[in-house]
A = this chain, B = another copy of it.
Amino acid sequence: MTLSIYSASIPVFKQILASLSAILDKADSHAAEKKIDPSALLSFRLYPDMLPFVRQVQIATDFAKGCGARLAGAAVPAYEDSEQSFAELKARIAKTIAFLDALAQADIDGSEERSITTGSGEKTKHFTGQSYLFHYALPHFFFHATTAYDILRHNGIEVGKKDFIGSY
């Protein structure tokens, strides 16, 4: 029995990104029903010096695409970070899932000990594939995905943990 680093990464990102997409639908419907300006939710921060909702979703997708690409030895796709609506954030998630789907399992499996470098200058970090996935990318990904959920929950969107965990 062996464990595949592909199974430990791509399907996990996809599970939570799909959940997040469905949660965005609920937030969008909630805003429409309650006549809330969607930008009030999209720009909401849990504290003034925290990042707003839209950035939480953007960064969650960044860790998913960045991790998938680096494990596969592929270039990390650049996104514009210009989303201004729930629909645009959903499109960003869909684009991220499509990118993950296009990565070949054979390129990712075997990357456990591959050297991975992120950042530049003083912020350069060195990892192996597995330390990058388990100790850096997944924690950051879950941190931003959960904070996005918490922002909506704090604003009364009717979602629960089942919506976050999703289907597996």
Contact = CB atoms under 8 A, between A and B. Distances in A.
A135 B164 CA distance: 11
Interface stretch (A31-39, A84-92, A137-145): A137-145
Contacts of A164: 139, 143
B46 A168 contact: no
A79 interface: no
A4 B112 CA distance: 10
A153 interface: yes
A1 to B, nearest CB: 5
* Number of copies of this protein chain within its complex: 2
Interface string A93-114: 0000000000000000010110
Q: How large is the interface on A (under 10, 10 to 19, 20 to 34, 35 or more residues)?
A: 35 or more
Contact of A46 (B50, B110, B140, B154): B154
Interface string A1-25: 1111101100110011000000000
Contact of A3 (B8, B11, B140, B168): B8
A142 B12 CA distance: 13
A73 to B, nearest CB: 14
Given A3-B5, A130-B3, A165 B138 contact: no
A29 interface: no
Contact of A135 (B12, B138, B146): B12
B153 A165 contact: no
Nearest 9 A-B pairs (CB), nearest first?
A: A135-B168, A142-B142, A146-B146, A3-B3, A46-B154, A150-B150, A1-B112, A3-B112, A1-B113
